Chain A
Amino acid sequence: MFTRGPSLGMRLFLLAVCSILLMYLDHQRGHLQTVRQALSVAAYPIRVIVDLPSRAFLWAGDALSTRRSLQEDNTQLRGEQLEARVRLQRLETLQAENDRLRALLESRPRLPDRILVAEILSVDLDPFRHRLVIDKGIADGLYVGQAMLDAAGVVGQVTRVEQLSAEAIMISDPGHATPVEINRNGLRTIALGTGDSGRLLLPFLPNNADVKAGDLLVTSGLGDAFPYGYPVARVLTVDRRPGEPFAEIIANPSAALNREREVLLVWQQDRVPDETTLSDDGDETEDAAAAADPEP
């Protein structure tokens, strides 16, 4: 403490300069991916340890559930599956019809997206931001900007990938904007996060726009962030304010933000990893990659 090396104030000064340099490089330039990945090897065990109690709790719930509740679950799931199958039959004929019509119009058919299920680690990053950590990373072929869904709608997109985990931003984060369109009439706009997981804001629609409460918003596919046509939110209130140029429209996200344990990751056609990097569940990958010749 007393005589070795530079004085305490000098050391603090040097470290402060280092930190500011790091912040500049990381935030303005994004140069520090390798540093972050090296350090994330040390941080990953902590994330896993923190996630353990809730995982154990879930496991105990599974292991201790009674025969009766399992049977109830089973019948309910059977019913749901039957319903889903019936819908899927219709979807297949519709898909075929759609492809035929698109062929007539000489436009490229929409391709199936590759999908992977990831689990959310229960880790709180920052109370003022809506971020989450999932248990898939570079090893599974994730990339920055990848769309993330759950069973009901869009959850968010991947912002940072590490070897075994990834960080994602949710659509309700105040820093996130989702390009959407109204399913009923195709009117395009942008849905902003508010920092409240039950509300999205649509601030860019004029007072006379054709929008009403109950309208479904789906991803518009513009901006290349999300694939086209996944549900995002349902319009809750439309407040037309005379004297203001834009209406105040609030929507309620379809996805169960903050309540789900699992999310689906979607690869868009041009980002599907080839079979050399990914060996497992290759059948979907092959179709998609084979058909993914982009138009000139």
Chain B
Amino acid sequence: MSNRYRIWPVLAFFLVAMSLEVAPMPEAVAPWRPPWVALSVIYWSMHRPGRYGVGVAWLIGLLLDVLKGAVLGQNALSLALAAYVTIKLCQRLRVFPIWQQAISVSLIIAVLGFFGFWIDGMTGKLQGGWLRLAPVISSMVVWPPLTWFADRLVASRVRR
């Protein structure tokens, strides 16, 4: 069954997520930018745990590091961790109602946020204070529309 899924919708999905991750935003709302790539990694490893595992997440993270000019390995580590936690919990996450799923996802994002905080602290770029946790809230808000959209994408593949 799974070999009928094509790779290009997922690829396009990640390209859009990457673009959104660095798209220009007004300075005042920039800290609230949802972590689009991390959310996409969580979505795909929740729904296709066999295909998109920690290795793929790590490679995507490495590309994101270069794109955002971060220390090489920072986003790679946190995305691999996100994929790991999601795959471990995917059986439960998939049957959650959507609001409960959104809360769980934002908790995963919070854990990643603390990792990012820790790495930034070690490389000497600690800034932002409590605003660092803004993506936790914004990812809770964008998770339902994101899953709605991605579900449609998956469904259209299966029907054809």
Contact = CB atoms under 8 A, between A and B. Distances in A.
A109 interface: no
Q: Which 8 A-B pairs have the closest CB atoms?
A: A22-B73, A19-B77, A127-B30, A19-B73, A128-B127, A1-B50, A26-B72, A23-B73
Interface in B17-69: 18-19, 22-25, 27, 30-31, 33, 49-50, 53-55, 58, 62-63, 66-69
B128 A128 contact: yes
A126 B77 contact: no
A195 B128 CA distance: 9
12 contacts: A8-B53, A8-B87, A11-B53, A12-B80, A19-B73, A23-B71, A23-B73, A39-B63, A46-B22, A124-B24, A127-B31, A128-B131
Nearest to B83: A12
B97 interface: no
Interface residues of A, number: 45
B6 interface: no
A36 B54 contact: no
Nearest to A4: B50
B140 interface: no
A66 to B, nearest CB: 27
Report, as a range, how many residues of chain B touch the other chain. Answer: 35 or more
A195 B127 contact: yes
Chain A binding surface SS class: helix
B98 interface: no
A206 interface: no
B15 interface: yes
A22 B55 contact: no
B72 A23 contact: yes
Contact of A175 (B22, B125, B131): B125
Contact of A42 (B23, B54, B63, B127): B63
A49 interface: yes
B71 A8 contact: no
Contact of A18 (B30, B68, B73, B87): B73
B24 A258 contact: no
B81 interface: yes
A9 B67 CA distance: 28
Given A49-B19, A50-B23, A26 B71 contact: yes
B119 to A, nearest CB: 7
B88 A16 contact: no
